[in-house]
Amino acid sequence: MLSKSLFDGKKLYGNMGDYPFTAESLFRIGLALCTYLVIKGEEKPTLGINVLNFATMSLAVGFMAGGGDVVVGEGSVSVIHREEENALIFEGLEEIDLKKIESILFSRYHIPRKRGKEVGRLWIQENKL
């Protein structure tokens, strides 16, 4: 039996607070996204988000735990939250990249996290938080 993919093309759909839009799930997706970008060869990945809200910040915290920086605006990968669609749209990635991220998420191995000063930072209007 084939299981349904987490991503629908380059989009992730859900209602706030329900799977996959829970804080825990979005954290793990952000962590897997950052891990994938590091494996792919980016030394310090950057995630761009269009708005600060529950969904994007939960994803961003996971991304920072993987060692990537988050900016409000453009990044090497961008995530756009479309509230009217209840969707997160991943830009700068191909559908195959999202399948690889999904395989990292559901593998039986733990996803490595950074510690101390290796943890990523959040940048808002060029100010580091």
Q: How many beta carbons lie within 10 A of that of residue 31, not counting itself?
A: 26
What percent of the chain clears pLDDT 70, i.e. is strictly above it? Answer: 95
Q: What does the angle CA 20 – CA 23 – CA 24 come to, to the nearest 5 degrees?
A: 80
Residue of 22, 28, 66 whose CA lies nearest to 47: 66
Q: Encode pLDDT of 52-64 as tens digits.
A: 999 999 999 999 9
- In this prediction the pTM is 0.92
Phi and psi dihedrals of 115, rounded to 5?
-135, 155
pLDDT digits (tens, 9 = 90+) for 76-115: 999 999 999 999 999 999 999 999 999 999 988 889 999 9
In words, the CATH class of domain 24-128 is alpha beta
Q: Where are the domains positioned within the chain?
A: 24-128
| DSSP H stretches of helix in 66-108 | 95-105
pLDDT number for residue 3:
66
Q: What is the DSSP letter of 85?
A: G
